[in-house]
Amino acid sequence: MAAAKTAGARGGTVARARGLSSEEAEKFLHITIQPEKDVVLILTAAAQKQSIMKAICNEAFARTGERGIAFSVPVSDVTGLDLARLAGQAE
């Protein structure tokens, strides 16, 4: 999260997760899936996405030696946030 915040992220959620994978998926992708991992979720404007992802990869992965995957998913709708307050800060 520190790396993401330096690139402009205002916050995020770190969740402890347990992965479930099939042997076929591991063989197909040629990767080893760790059973336990941390998942970082950040909701941000599209314009900030690339700089945040690069910061996570460059700073966090390089500094710690850990491996991971950074990917983005477009969000078309969100509920449960103070959207009126955020509307003045978006784009």
Q: What is the mean pLDDT of the chain?
A: 79
52-19-17-72 Cα dihedral, nearest 10 degrees: 20
Handedness of CA 22, 27, 28, 30 (dihedral sign): positive
pLDDT for 22 beyond 80: no
Tell me what pLDDT residue 83 has: 60
Lowest-confidence region among 11-20, 33-42, 51-60: 33-42
Confidence of residue 7 (pLDDT cuts 50, 70, 90): very high
